[in-house]
Each structure stands twice: as structure tokens, then as C-alpha cells.
Amino acid sequence: MPNYWSTSGFDTLKVNADHHLVVTDDFLRTYLARPELSLIPQSCAQERAVHERLLNSPREEISQAEIQKIADHDVQANYEIWFRYRAKLLAASSLEHFYMSLFQGKGVDVPPLFVSQLTQIFLRHILGENPDPYELRMAEFFFRTQKVSILEGGVLMAADHETIERNAQASDFGNIVDLLKNQSLAARTIDLDVLHPDNAKSYWGRDEFYDFAVQLNFDQPALPALARLLEKWIKHFLGIDTVITPLKEIADSKWVWHVGLDAAATEILNGLYQEQSLDESVLNRLICLFKLEFKDLSPVLSQVRGKPVYLGLAMNDQSQIKIKPQNLLFNLPLSPVS
């Protein structure tokens, strides 16, 4: 099986006895290669000296006075952000503990790009060495914005938002752009660009192009794959076993708990739970629903034990899906001791 998402930085990390990821010097060096900190021909001598010292010793403390000697003020700011981020990384016992701590304070104070990178690394770790291509494609939803299009016949199609925008600006954009810009579902487009069982293995070699569209209708393989991925996400971070299954609708007069997997779904589910009258255009943003059940009820709040938790995924008013995977870790009905 070829290595996938090889530029994520996962290969530079170590795994501890708890199967959590541990920061290494090589992992810290990956940030020095990012555009925000990498050298360019115009870099001044001081910037080059700081960069070289950090490459040799990524944990070295660099004084504020030394940073202020860098000619480019944007580079100064980038280093200050990086040093704050590095300090938090090194203070945590694992990358997982660091990630969880981000959402337990007054708010996330690290660049969203870094959080997305960590999410990809965790998914690479969770999915292991022989993942299902559908799970890989749905994992992209966790750390990359998706663009949704409703095609003829109610076909729900999603593709990577950045890929669409990038290709749309090119002179000879490809089939995914045709699909989502022109609302066309030609057979050639399905064969080339939409993930389906017959071409799923071709994800390998295209894993960092993010150029597969995927159909999200209830009868398609994508939703069960997302359900399995959500189960694994919960198990890895919380150590709790769940069973998650796709739903067509919530038909439960005793509905007691729900979790929105993104901001749009949270708003819609809250409205439905409170029996508000929601506009049809708002309801149509709800892409899919899931039922979550706990295998072991002991960590669950007493008032929710034996009752399902409903999950929702929705697109925003710009037809984008922006999953917030931390919602699933912090909004489940778990007792404080768990």
C-alpha cells in the first residue's frame, strides 16, 4: 500500500504506548519549511541566521530582540505566532492532548491552518496503513472545505472547494469544475472524477490532489464510510465505542440529544429540536443525518442512557461543508468523569 498524505508531517512523529502521537524535532522542522517561515531570495541575513539555528535545534529559544532584528515585519509576526504555538506543542504530553486542550480554554488561539493540519495527521494515524478509499475521501471533509452541488434528480455531489476554485481559474479546467459549475453529470465525468466502487483504488496516487468528487445521497457508499470514520474518531480520542448509522430522517418523539458536525447543522438541529418553523431553504441545507448509539452506557449521562444521539451535517449559505470534528468530542452526552 503506497504511503498517502505524505506531506502532512505524520511520518515525522512518534507513537507512544497509548497510541498517541509525540512531537519530534523533525516534526518541528516541517513548520520551518512552510511558506510562512521558509527562506526566500529576499530574506535578510538575520532571518537566515535564525532559520539556520532553528533547523539545527528546533526547540531552541530565540529572544524577542533577535526576532525584531529581522527586516521583514511579516516574518517577525510569523515567528512570534510559531513560537507561541511551539511552546504549547512541547508542553503537552502528546499531540492528541494538545489538540483537546485547544478547545477547552477561552477559544482557539492558534492559526486555523495549523488545526486543519493536525486533523489530517490524526486521521492519517487513525486510518492506518490499509484504509478504505471511501473513508479516505470522507476524511478530507474533516480538514478541507467542500463545495456541494445539487444536480438534476436530487443528486448531491461534493468536491474540494479549493480544487474547484483553483481549476476554475485555469485556462483548461477539468471535469470536476464542469460538474459543479455547469451542473452536468455526464458519464465521462463519473468515470473520471466521481469516486465510485469501480475506480476507488485510483485514489492512490491522487491522494494529495483532492480532485475526487463524491456523491452524498443516502444510498451511496460515502455516508456509511463517514459513519465508520466518526466511530474511529471518537474511539481514538475518547476511548468510547459507538455504532453510527446513516438516517433518512429523525422520527423520534422522545428526541433528547443531538450534535451538529458543523455550525450550519448545529443551527438547524437546534431549531428542529425546539420545534421552530424553519424556512424550506434552510432545511434544504441539511445534507445527511446519523444515529449514534453507545456500546457501553456507563460513561453516558443518565438521562440519555439507552437513547440515541442524532448527528447532522449541513452546508452553509454558500453551499459549503465545513466540518468541526471537535464538536463530536466535546458535545456528546458524557458524564464529567468520562
Q: Strands (DSSP E) along 177-224, which ranges? A: 214-215
- Phi first, then psi, for residue 295 (nearest 5°) are -70, -35
Q: What is the pLDDT of residue 253?
A: 83
By DSSP bridging, strand 14-15 and strand 286-294 are unpaired
Q: In this structure, what C-alpha cell is assigned to residue 186?
A: 455526464
Give how far Cα 246 sits from Cα of 60, 85, 111, 200, 332, Å: 49, 37, 33, 21, 17
Residues 56 and 164: their CA atoms lie apart, in Å, by 39
- In the predicted model, residues of the chain with pLDDT beneath 50 are 171, 173, 183-192, 338
Alpha-carbon torsion, ordered 198, 204, 207, 212, to 10 deg? -20
CB 79 within 8 A of CB 70: yes
Q: What is the pLDDT of residue 162?
A: 92
**CB burial readout 181-193, b (16+ within 10 A) else e:** eeeebeeebbebb
Q: What is the pLDDT of residue 337?
A: 65
Question: What are the tens digits of pLDDT across the range 283-299?
Answer: 999 999 999 999 999 99
Q: What is the pLDDT of residue 124?
A: 97
The strand pairing partners of 291, in sequence order, are 245, 310
Residue 60 CB contacts under 8 Å (≥ 6 apart), including other chains: 53, 54
CB 38 within 8 A of CB 32: yes
- Amino acid present at 47: E
Residue 324 CB contacts under 8 Å (≥ 6 apart), including other chains: 261, 262, 263
Length of the chain: 338
Give how far Cα 34 sits from Cα of 38, 142, 309, Å: 6, 21, 40
Q: Which helix (H) or strand (E) holds 143?
A: helix 133-143
CB 119 within 8 A of CB 151: no
Q: In this structure, what C-alpha cell is assigned to residue 255?
A: 428526541
Question: What are the tens digits of pLDDT across the range 70-115?
Answer: 999 999 999 999 999 999 999 999 999 999 999 987 767 888 999 9
Residues 176 and 199: their CA atoms lie apart, in Å, by 15
Q: What is the pLDDT of residue 204?
A: 87
Residues 239 and 232: their CA atoms lie apart, in Å, by 9
Residue 223 CB contacts under 8 Å (≥ 6 apart), including other chains: 216, 246, 288, 290
Cell 477559544 belongs to which residue?
107
Residues 210 and 8: their CA atoms lie apart, in Å, by 13
Q: Strands (DSSP E) along 165-213, which ranges? A: none
Q: What is the pLDDT of residue 336?
A: 85
Per DSSP, the three-state class of 10 is helix
